Amino acid sequence: MPLICLVRHGQASFAARDYDVLSDLGRAQASVVGQELARRGLRDPYLVAGTLTRQRDTARIAADAAGFQGTLHQDARWNEYDHLALLARYAPSPDKERSVQDLLDHALMAWMKDPERTEGRTWAAFAEAAVAALAELPAALGRGRDAVVFTSGGLLAAVGGALLSLPHEGVIALNRVTVNASITTLVVGGSGTTLLTFNEHAHFAGDRRGMLTYR
């Protein structure tokens, strides 16, 4: 049965002029997750990334570290939502007593409940696009081949929520704890696609504990 590994991008440049750039730590995380993917002995992995810079760069660094030789395919349906746009629309007033994560949780819930479009789409459309992209992957794999998708935390939460039939609160809880360069594993079988693991990050344990980040 094909395995699909969904990899969150390495740490981006939070609070910098261009968020969509891997930090130095993010690049190191990408290399480590590549080594972890190599250890798993994936079968001729089909590589996919969103079109965001941090996703594509994570994919390339990880593929180099893993020794993967295949073409990197790109699909914008794996792109993250614009968290700055969400905060501006749903949490516009700075609140020094609330963390950025709390404000983002609030903004996400508001977006999920809002029937109007934000960034040109609703939450439902965002999540449905990710699920559709996932549903198309098995046809590209055939027998005896696995896949690695380099994406973002919001997509991982949306896909996990869809596979587990979670309410909005559950999706937000998944989004909150997703680790940079973590691995979520799915298996494709006769009954469809099943979630095996979510947010694996043991490759950042022990001596690499200092590399563990969430944002």
Residues 188, 170 contacting (CB under 8 angstroms): no
**How does pLDDT run across 7-47, given as a tens digit for each residue?**
999 999 866 577 899 999 999 999 999 999 999 999 999 99
Please check whether residue 194 lies inside any domain of the structure: no
Please check whether residue 215 lies inside any domain of the structure: no
**How does pLDDT run across 112-168, given as a tens digit for each residue?**
998 877 667 899 999 999 999 999 999 988 778 999 999 999 999 999 999 999 999
Nearby residues of 153 by Cβ (< 8 Å), 6 or more positions away:
8, 80, 175, 178
Mean pLDDT, the chain, rounded, equals: 92
Please check whether residue 1 lies inside any domain of the structure: no
DSSP-based three-state secondary structure for 173: helix
Cα gap 22→20, rounded to integer Å? 7
Please check whether residue 108 lies inside any domain of the structure: yes
Apex CA 165: angle with CA 213 and CA 189, to 5°?
A: 90
Range of the domain at 205: 8-188+199-210
Indicate the pairing of strand 46-49 with strand 147-151: parallel
Apex CA 175: angle with CA 174 and CA 177, to 5°?
A: 70
CATH number of residue 123's parent domain = 3.40.50.1240
Please check whether residue 139 lies inside any domain of the structure: yes
Please check whether residue 2 lies inside any domain of the structure: no
For the chain, what is the domain count? 1
State residue 15's pLDDT score.
Answer: 63
Does the model's pTM come out above 0.75?
A: yes
Residue whose pair of structure tokens reads 């590209």 in the numeric block = 140
Please check whether residue 69 lies inside any domain of the structure: yes
**Band (215; pLDDT cuts 50, 70, 90):** confident
Q: Phi, psi (5° rounding) for residue 16?
A: -90, 170
Categorise residue 50: left if φ over 0, alpha if ψ from -120 to 50, beta otherwise. Answer: beta
Please check whether residue 193 lies inside any domain of the structure: no
Residues 133, 156 contacting (CB under 8 angstroms): no
Q: Phi, psi (5° rounding) for residue 183?
A: -125, 125
